[in-house]
Copies of this chain bind each other. A is one copy, B any other.
Amino acid sequence: MLRVIMKKIESSSFFIGRQGDGIISFGSGQPDLPPPKEVFSVLSGKQRTFKYGLIQGEERLRNLLANEYKGSDAHNFVICNGASEALDLIFRVLSGDLKRRKVLMPRPYYYSYPFIVKFAGLTPVFTDLKDGRIDLNDFEKKVRGCAAVLINSPSNPTGRVENIETLKQIEKITQNSGIHLISDEVYKDLIYERENYVPKGKRVITVNSFSKTFGMCGLRVGYLYSPDKDLVQKTIEMKVHTSMNTNTMAQEMAAAALLAPKSYIEKQKEIWKKRRDFIYQGLLDLGLDLWRPEGAFYVFPRVKNSSKVVYDLYYKYKVIVYDGSWFGSPDRIRLSYALDIEKIKEGLKRIGNYVKNA
Q: Which A residues contact B (CB, under 8 angstroms)?
A: 3, 6-7, 10, 13, 15-17, 28, 30, 34-35, 40, 43-44, 48-56, 81-82, 84-85, 88, 92, 112, 115-116, 119, 121, 215-220, 233, 236-238, 240-250
Contact = CB atoms under 8 A, between A and B. Distances in A.
A85 to B, nearest CB: 4
A218 B53 contact: yes
- The residue among A44, A55, A121 with the most chain B CB atoms within 10 A of its own CB is A55
B244 A247 contact: no
Please list the 8 inter-chain residue pairs (A to B) with the smallest Cβ-Cβ separation, ordered nearest first. Answer: A218-B248, A112-B241, A115-B241, A88-B242, A50-B218, A43-B43, A85-B243, A81-B243
Nearest to A217: B52
Contacts of A49: 34, 215, 218
Nearest to A89: B242
Given A121-B121, A240-B6, A243-B85, A51 B16 contact: yes
Contacts of A55: 10, 15
A63 to B, nearest CB: 15
B30 A40 contact: no
Contacts of A240: 6, 10, 15, 112
Contact of A84 (B10, B53, B243): B243
Contacts of A119: 92, 238, 241-242
Contacts of A92: 119
Contact of A220 (B30, B88, B245): B245
Contacts of A243: 81-82, 84-85, 88, 220, 243
Question: How many subunits of this chain does the assembly comprise?
Answer: 2
Given A10-B240, A44-B44, A17 B84 contact: no
Contacts of A116: 241-242
A233 to B, nearest CB: 7
A329 to B, nearest CB: 18
Nearest to A7: B233
Contacts of A43: 43-44
B52 A30 contact: yes
Given A44-B43, A81-B81, A84-B244, A6 B237 contact: yes
Nearest to A18: B51
22 contacts: A6-B237, A6-B240, A15-B52, A15-B55, A16-B52, A16-B54, A17-B51, A34-B49, A43-B44, A50-B218, A51-B217, A81-B81, A81-B220, A81-B247, A84-B242, A88-B241, A119-B238, A119-B242, A218-B247, A219-B247, A249-B250, A250-B250
Contacts of A233: 7
A54 B240 CA distance: 25
Contacts of A51: 16-17, 30, 217-218
A16 B244 contact: no
Nearest to A248: B218
Contacts of A112: 240-241
Contacts of A16: 51-54
Nearest to A96: B119
A295 B18 CA distance: 44
Nearest to A112: B241
Contacts of A121: 121
